[in-house]
Amino acid sequence: MRDAYLIGAGQTAFGAFPERSYRELFAEAYEHACERVDGGIEQTDIDEAVVGSLGVGGRQLGLSGPAVTEHVGLHNVPCTRVENACAAGGFAVRQAVQAIRSGMADVVLASGFEVMSDMSGDVTKYWLGVSGETEWERLTGTTFSGVYAQMASAYLDRYDATPEDLSRVAVKNHGNGAKNPKAHLGFECSLDDAVAAPEVAAPLNLYHCCPTSDGAAVAILASEDVVDNYTDERIRVAGVGAASDHVGLAERDSYLGLSATETAAETAYDRAGVDPDDLDFAEVHDCFAIAELLAYEDLGFCERGEAPQLLREGVTDPDGDLPVNTSGGLKSKGHPIGATGTGQVVEVFDQFTGRAGDRQLAEPRYGLTHNVGGSGGATAIHVFENEEVSG
């Protein structure tokens, strides 16, 4: 089984760009990623492309993968669109790794895009519940924030946690996002502001919910056989894990964690030969504040019920033991659905190659990305290792 290496990654700014087409966004991210391959890369070097997109934006309705890759001149290589709701990008990365490990490709584009700001009323209405379960959640009136609100209610009821703990996620992630020039909501917020925000779906308020964004992100992966041709960096995909779960909350055993994340993390850690303690940073899927708390526990950063303590103690702050969402996360950097998972990989690339500016961590060796579809119906997790940094 050949290893896959991350040789370049780039993205557009995330935000509201109703005047820009999805193809234009994709092209910008693609060019950004190519520019950042140290030794340069030719279009003809790319053997395959995987494109993640939810595709609710009503553009190219079928074949949206080939529709964006042809726009950058890649109108010949195998191109597959993958969709696992908000985890489309993470699964695109996983598929790119499989393509390389299979021996069927040496250089693969893992990418994602979404346009969320320029949608018709109907599509927006759909979107509010699109990533939850359709028949028993959306069609009965449950919004997507309502789904996560149920998890937040269960969590606050069960553990020593308060809405203020949820707000700490916003304060931390906005603090990080304010240092990220690509962030959609790149401003700081105080704990007071985050606590006082208007209610969306109790107990979740506005600052407990991420925006949805327009944007695109592209990661370029290469096999161990050819990585030398492109870069001296050695960013290895050390572990990959993925799992699915019941799409609807009501079918699950518990609202206090996502079993897909637990299963995927176990696989990814096992394949990478690491423990959560080995991680130097993580990008986790904080679509709602409660999701970041659950992620800490599902990913083994702490025991059940201890996530608020990590936030209160600053463990996941940029200067803490395990910085989480240095990019700003979905909350501040933004959430262009299909591009979110590959966007997380851009932060990994930035951190490992000293491109993270004011967010730069000191010589990280292991970084994790955690991308969730729906309310946990599918999760993709990757552990990346910077082989230049010794343990």
Interface with a copy of itself (CB under 8 A): 1, 49, 54-56, 59-67, 69-70, 74-86, 91, 94-95, 97-104, 126, 130-131, 133-135, 138, 240, 242-247, 251, 259-260, 263-264, 373-374, 377-378, 380
Q: Rounded to whole angstroms, how far apart are CA atoms 222 and 242?
A: 21
Residue with token string 């997790």: 381
Residue 218's CB: how many other CB atoms inside 10 A? 35
Least distance to a copy of itself, CB of residue 55, Å: 8
Task: Tell me the two tokens of residue 339.
Answer: 């591009």
Least distance to a copy of itself, CB of residue 381, Å: 11
Q: Is 86 a catalytic residue?
A: yes
174, 184, 285, 335: the catalytic one is: 335
Least distance to a copy of itself, CB of residue 83, Å: 5
In the complex with a copy of itself, the residue whose CB is nearer, 59 or 355, is: 59
Assess contact for 377 and 250: CB atoms under 8 A. Answer: no
In DSSP notation, 224-247 reads TTTGGGT-S--EEEEEEEEEE--S
Assess contact for 56 and 126: CB atoms under 8 A. Answer: yes
In the complex with a copy of itself, the residue whose CB is nearer, 144 or 281, is: 144
By C-alpha distance, which of 215, 219, 247 is closest to 95?
Answer: 219
34, 79, 86, 287: the catalytic one is: 86
In the complex with a copy of itself, the residue whose CB is nearer, 130 or 204, is: 130
In the complex with a copy of itself, the residue whose CB is nearer, 70 or 164, is: 70
Q: Is 209 a catalytic residue?
A: no
- Residue 183 buriedness (CB in 10 A; 0-12 / 13-18 / 19+): buried
Least distance to a copy of itself, CB of residue 382, Å: 13
Residue with token string 């959640």: 137
Catalytic positions: 86, 335
